[in-house]
Amino acid sequence: MAHAATRLTRFNMTSLALGLAFLYLPIVILVIYSFNASRLVTVWGGWSLRWYHEFFSDRAMLDAAWMSLSVAAVSATLATLLGTLAAVGLARGERFRGRALFSGMLYSPLVMPEVISGLSLLLLFVALNAERGFWTVTIAHTTLTMCFVTVVVQSRLATLDRSLEEAAMDLGCDPVRAFLLVTLPLIVPAIVAGWMLAFTLSLDDVVIASFTTGPGSATLPIRIYSEVRLGVKPEINAICTLVIALIAVIIVVASFASKLSSARGESAAPL
């Protein structure tokens, strides 16, 4: 019976606990130490919210956090827009010349080393004589994350029955309205999941951002990275805890979105 096979044996419990500990122990320690009163990172000095205060009064760090969040929000939105259009084009468009090449090129950022993407974007921006800062990072992150949105949305479109759109047209919709009234509502969970994926990827990125940003507009990861080189302050732990909390919320929302889409009788978008 399936019940017997899935019941937790002592061995399964132990291996699960070890696995989870391996993954999450460093994070748990980080979170605990973010509430440390001591000035030294490795010495426990009792519970305190001191480093959270420190962070919220650290102008430069707050600016970096704000920069990161706005870059992530804007680039995720742009990437979702472009990525969804590309996915619809690839999944629904007529077989155009160069389709295979186009889809291959679209996915190249998935496998391209970030250093190369970052360097090539930097060369582009220098060649264009663009002032490096918020917009250059945003554009760079859009190109990085768009293909992830395309993958998520395209796999959702692939599971959607073509005859749904045909039925909509049969019942009086032109192709655009058929897309808006039938296809779009059915792929919204995948689009939401794609946006969140793009948001977290952008929030997370150091390499491409450090190539494409300019003086005075560091993102949070860049800022943290440069701080850590001078020695880890417990303030960093507090910031990281906040970032982890934000990402956890996003992951929960995204998995709800993909649950919602599977509850609609179609297979969920992979996350």
Q: By the criterion CB under 8 A, which residues form the site for another protein?
A: 161, 163-164, 166-174, 177-178, 181-182, 185-186, 264-266
Q: How far is the CB of 156 from another protein (least distance, A)?
A: 13
* Shorter beta-carbon distance to another protein: residue 131 or 170: 170
Tokens read off for 142: 């859009």
* Shorter beta-carbon distance to another protein: residue 131 or 166: 166
CA within 13 Å, CB half, 240:
21
Q: How far is the CB of 171 from another protein (least distance, A)?
A: 3
Closest CA to 133 of 74, 53, 77, 194: 74
Q: What burial class does residue 249 get, using C-beta atoms within 10 Å of its C-beta: 0-12 exposed, 13-18 middle, 19+ buried? A: exposed
Q: How far is the CB of 268 from another protein (least distance, A)?
A: 13
Q: How far is the CB of 193 from another protein (least distance, A)?
A: 17
All residues at 6 or more sequence positions from 205 whose CB lies less than 8 Å from its CB, including other chains: 114, 141, 144, 219, 221
Contact 75, 198 (CB under 8 A): yes
With H, G, I as helix, E, B as strand and everything else as coil, classify residue 47: strand
Contact 203, 69 (CB under 8 A): yes
Q: How far is the CB of 151 from another protein (least distance, A)?
A: 23
